[in-house]
Amino acid sequence: MLQRKLYLQHTIDVYVAELAEGKFKLTFHRMTTRERIEIITSRAVAEFLALLNGKNSVEEILKKLGTFDELEAKNFIDFLTSHHLVTDQDRDAYSHSKYERQIAYFDDMILDRKGIETQELLGTKTVTLLGCGAVNGYIAELLARAGVKKFTLVDYKVFDIQNISRHIYSKATDIGKSKVEILSKYLTDIDSEIKVDFYQEKLTPNSDLSKWVPERESLVINGCDEPYIGHTSLKIGRYLQDKNIPLYVSGGFDAHLMSSGELVFPPLTPCIDCIQSTFSKALGEWKPTYSQLKDSSALIKIDPTIVEEFPVLNIGGAGGLASMSSFSASLSSMEIIQFLVEDSNLIFNSLRYEYLPNKGEMTGFELLKQDDCHVCNG
């Protein structure tokens, strides 16, 4: 302990106030979380804290102060480290890294390990994205910028003119080009170390998911909303459940709300069948509409729990903005990153967040395990 060269975390501010009778109040303010920690201590402790600059060891500081007790120093350092207020990691290890501010964020928010170790862990993760639309495409970008290095992309579509206003990774010259090819290049332009496999193929009831999803994949993100994301998620979720591979069902938007998605990783969360059952009960008689059906009375009448029945049709879409899809993607990516870095504080409650822009309200919709589910209840 005496040889450690400690300094305050980059996101910690300290305010020192001198009180009566030689006492000092130290207030530690964590900028990331706005957490405040206050202690009343002696002048010697305040002086010791001021000398923690990462250049001198604890032993050197004690010699300089002379009167500061070694046991008192040890107890104070234990306090500082237990509250993640100081670190001894090499400043130069990441001070010029493109992830410098993200590492500082991890230092404050992911308390399982040092921030730089969390960043390195994220770089080992692999992600498959089924569907490369406006939401999933931006999720891919956010994960790439965060440090994920390996992606698999699946989408059969090419860009048309209406995609350009909503797909953040597209531009006018991409019209007629494959979404997976354009997104692949976009990700590798962000980081040349990123590796991408892509398939310009369509998800159908008979698709062999083993072709797209590696055996030890860290996460699969479903954004396939044709004919309806609830139907495609059942097929994908049941397959991944048998492989013990986690699924994230992307959120999205319609005319009145923007939502996060939900993590599906039973038994920590409800299984995909329980999630779909929760939605079915909440939505009552509502059924998704399809843009290729001319007769509105012929809306889908299939059982959403039977994957094999879903037809191959294009779903109709509500009006929306690029900012709406990027909001949903950003909200989803926060939880996805928290899961990928194995944050022990992640709450597996499958709460789907919904933001109502007309009211300025964020609400939560809880997805529940069903009492009769053999998957969720062992």
Q: How far is 283 from 287, CA to CA, in rounded Å?
A: 8
Percent helix / strand / coil, the chain, rounded to 5? 35, 20, 45
Find how far residue 182's CA is from the centre of its chain: 23
pLDDT value of position 96: 60
pLDDT value of position 320: 80
Helix (H) or strand (E) holding 16: strand 12-18
Helix (H) or strand (E) holding 339: helix 322-340
Find how far residue 361's CA is from the centre of its chain: 21
Report the candidate in 138, 195, 183 with the shortest Cα–Cα distance to residue 157: 183
Contact 366, 351 (CB under 8 A): yes
Contact 263, 252 (CB under 8 A): no
Structure tokens at 38: 């206050």
Contact 8, 14 (CB under 8 A): yes
- What secondary structure does DSSP assign to 263-332, as a single string? EE-TTTS--HHHHHHHHHHHHTT----BTT-S-GGG---S-TT-GGG----PBP-----HHHHHHHHHHH
Report the candidate in 365, 343, 5, 334 with the shortest Cα–Cα distance to residue 139: 334
Mean pLDDT per 10-residue segment, the chain (378 residues): 86 92 92 91 90 89 85 91 85 71 90 90 98 96 98 97 93 96 98 97 94 96 88 94 95 78 92 88 64 40 45 56 92 96 90 88 89 79
Beta carbons within 10 angstroms of residue 130's beta carbon: 25
